[in-house]
Amino acid sequence: MLVARRIDEEAIAMQRQGELPGYAPMKGQEAAQVGSAAALDLTRDFAFPNYRDLGAAVAMGVDLVGYLSTHLGTWHGGMYDPQASRLAPVNAVVGGAVPHAVGWAMGARLDGTGGVAITYFGDGASSQGDVHEALNFAAVYRLPVIFFCQNNGWAISVPAERQVAGGSVAARAAGYGIEGVRVDGNDVLAVFEATSEALCRGRDGGGPTVIEAMTYRMGPHSTSDDPGRYRTLEEEREWAERDPVARAAANLPAEVVAEAEAHAAQVVRQVREGLIATGERPAGELFSFVYREPTKALLDQQRGSHV
C-alpha cells in the first residue's frame, strides 16, 4: 500500500514536471485495490483494471515501468506482459473492462481451470449500460467473476448519491440473483476477506459476486481536475482521518513502517528512472495490433509514418 501511495505521488509530480502527459491519481483507494488483488491466485485468476488501479498492479507484482508507460501514451495498454502478470491492459473506457472480464470468466468456466476474473470499476461506471449487461450475462451463466466497485464518492464531479439509484451498487446484485457485499474499502483486511470469500464462491460454482468497497478519492479525478470546484475541504479532511495507509500503519511496529518507507523510496527511484529512460517509441508501432489482417488504408498510413 505504501509503495502504491508513494508511486502515485511521484506520478503526479512527474506530470507537473512535464514527464507524463496526464495521470489519474488513486490516493485513498490503496486498501481497496491492494486488499482485493492480494487475494488473487496468480496461477489461474485474472484482473481487469480501469485507469486508476495502480494499487492492484503493485500488489500483483506487475512491472511498474511498463504499467505506467500507459500514461506516456507509448504503447497499447502499457508495456508490461498482461498474460504473465495476469493483469489485463489498462482500460480507459468507463466500465469498458467489465464485459471483458465476463468474457474471460466464460472461458475459464469452459476450460475448467478454476480461475476467477475480477473487474474494477467506479461508482460512476456502475451507471453504464455495459456494466448492467455484463452483470446480467454473468448471472445467467453463473460465471466465476467478481464485480469490484470502488465507490469513491465521486463520478468525476457528480456525487454518488446523485447518480446511483437506490444508494448502493452492492444492492443491485439482488436484482440479478447474485451475491452483493458492501465492505469498508479503507480496511485492507476486510477487503481481503470479502474478496477471498467471493473467489471461493466463484470457484465452487456459486456464481458472480458484486463487492462495493466504500472508499474515497483523496485527490483529483485526474491531473487536469480541480476537486475544490465541487467538494468541500471539510469533506476531504473528514476522509483524510480515515486514510487507509495510516490506518494499516497504526497496526504495525514503527520499524516495520520505516522499512516499508525505505523500500517504497527505492522503488519510486527505480520507476522514475525507468520511465524517463523509456524514450519515444517508433511511430509505426501505433499501427500494430489494430487489425489481425491490416487493411490497405492502414498499411498505406503505416508506410507514410516512416517517410
The model's pLDDT over 279-305, given as tens digits with 9 standing for 90+, comes to: 777 777 778 777 889 899 988 888 876
pLDDT digits (tens, 9 = 90+) for 227-257: 999 999 999 999 999 999 999 999 999 999 9
Selecting among 76, 230, 263, 303, the annotated active-site residue is 230
221 flagged as catalytic: yes
Q: Which of 235, 213, 196 is nearest to 116 (CA)?
A: 196
Of 90, 197, 189, nearest in space to 146 by CA: 197
What is the pLDDT at residue 305? 66
Number of domains in the chain: 1
Separation of alpha carbons 283 and 279, rounded Å: 12
CA dist 138 to 106, 122, 176, 207, 303, Å? 8, 19, 9, 8, 43
Write down the pLDDT at residue 127: 92
As a whole number of angstroms, the distance between CA 145 and CA 164 comes to 22
- The single residue of 52, 109, 201, 217 carrying the catalytic annotation is 217
pLDDT: is 289 or 99 the higher one? 99
CATH of the domain at 105: 3.40.50.970
Pick from 109, 108, 46, 130: nearest CA to 81: 46
What residues make up the domain containing 19? Answer: 2-305
Write down the pTM of the prediction: 0.92
**Overall average pLDDT of the 146-154 stretch:** 96
Of 5, 201, 221, 242, the catalytic one is: 221
